[in-house]
Structure formats: C-alpha cells, structure tokens
Amino acid sequence: MQEASLSEVLRVMLIVLLIYFGLKLIFRFFGPLLLRYILRKVGKKFEQRFGQFGAPGEPPRKEGDISIDKKPKKTPKSKKDVGEYIDYEEID
C-alpha cells in the first residue's frame, strides 16, 4: 500500500479546484448562450406542434378574415331553497 505525500495531496486539491473554477467560469460565459439556443429549439418545436392558433377541426384562417364566435347559452342555475332567512335583534 502506498502513502500519499503532502505535495501530492495538495497537487490533487489544486487540480480539483482549478477544474471547478474553470467550469464555473465557462458556464458563466456560455450558459446564457446555451440557454438561448435551447429556448429557440423548444419554441420552434412548439410552433411546429401547435401551428396556428385555431381549433383542431377548423381550417386555417387567411390574414384579414374576420369571424365572430357566439358565446354559448348559459344554463339557468337551480333555484333550490336552501333555507329561510330569520331576522334577529340584539338583546342587551
């Protein structure tokens, strides 16, 4: 079994620290570029997948076309009687 000398331990620690700070510096400069690249690719995939904003069954609309969508009719809410209102007075 071999024993590590102090100089070898310091050398290994120095190499590890240099690699750590080197990678930290590289990611600081190239991280935003990498993130921008990834976001562009995701945006392109999103555009390809969803295309134009329209319902799946509708044909794509031409620029300048106007369409008016009607609101669906509201169903009347049930008028169930929850209970009766009791008026009260405070007693001193």
Q: Cα 57 from chain centroid? A: 27
Lowest mean pLDDT among 12-21, 43-52, 76-85: 76-85
Residue 50, pLDDT > 90, answer: no
Eight-state DSSP code of residue 91: -
Alpha carbon distance 23, 31 (integer Å) = 11
Average pLDDT over residues 21-40: 94
Greater confidence, 87 or 11? 11
**Predicted local distance difference test score (pLDDT) of residue 65:** 82
Average pLDDT over residues 44-70: 73
User: Where do we find the tokens 């590289």?
Assistant: 26
The structure's pTM equals 0.41
